[in-house]
Structure 1
Amino acid sequence: MAIIAWAKAKTGIPYSVGDILRMSHSVTGEYKRVEKITTAWKPPSEGFFKFNFDGCSFGNPGAGGISDVIRDGNGNTIMSFSGPAGLCDANEAEARPLLFGLRWFNLHKLGPLIVEGDSSNSIAWAASRCAGPWKLTNILDEIRDLMRSIHPQLVHMHRSMNSTADALAKDGARRAHMDAIVDESLIRDC
């Protein structure tokens, strides 16, 4: 430390001795190797369906977008939608597509369902009877009712595994209308 204090005094480095110690890897060239997490979406097991949802808010609150993608065990897209959510905060933008997708899935009764999203709040609130912001009470109550009817498996996932729903939600926030694609032939096959 005495050497660092001496170097600081001689060179006029604008950092404290503690900062210099914390940044010592810059001087010594010793860097810790950081492993990049590479993840990819995986289809569900045969006979199951996977529902990925996402929402976004450009501001908090700000212009929001929502999206859902439901796929079968072969990775075929059964249904996808994206569109604007209006002025909302991030929590509402994440809860609304979860509700929409569960409503759609409950209507079509396709089979066992895995629900994946990168919103830890929405996943936790859907699994709990008492949690969530008061302004989302009606949305969360309906989500929980649908959960009791459908009995899906809830999975919180890394954002990189939810890239399709993420891109659709961001695109939806920039549009004035909802876009939906449903493959009726795949629904009839289920």
Structure 2
Amino acid sequence: MIIGLTGPMGCGKGEVVKILEKMGFEYITLSMMVREEARERGIEEEREKLMEVGNSMRAQEGAGVLGKRALKKIQDSGHDKWVVDGIRNPAEIGSLKEGEDVHVVGVNANRELLIERILSRGRESDATEREAIVHKLDREWGVGEPEDGQQVEKCMQKVDLVIDNEGTLEELQQKFTDFYNKLKKD
């Protein structure tokens, strides 16, 4: 089983990953593919630059390149339960769905809550100014991006389930556990 995750930064995808890891899932993020490529190109691993590298990879090798690379790693691994984080383009969903038993979940929250979370989490790669965060959220959502670039809004339209993560961590865990248990029954 492969569970793919999409959603804007600050929405709680990382928390969903932790939930799935406790259930025995292995973890891979599409940004790992981008970071590997950035290192090969000698490019600094800063969020804006990584976004550019990812967009460049999609432009050169097709919009689904990151999903294809992740699926290959998964298929070569021998593990049967994977969570794939960082889906940012609908073609990546299409590439992943070429595998078996693939389900994609969108995680979201209102814009103000996203900004608050990003400001409070203190990641080195995150912007610290509200205006810069808004710009990055817009760009990630697809504003001003090419079709083969960041398109989280379009990804959210192709998911199997959208989880609204505006509540507690316990509520998020319950929503996701319910979804997973339903998948196991089907």
Instruction: Please say whether Structure 1 and Structure 2 have the same fold, judged by a TM-score greater than 0.5.
Output: no
Higher strand share: 1
TM-score (normalizing by structure 1): 0.32
Higher helix share: 2
Computing the radius of gyration from Cα coordinates, the structure with the larger value is: 1
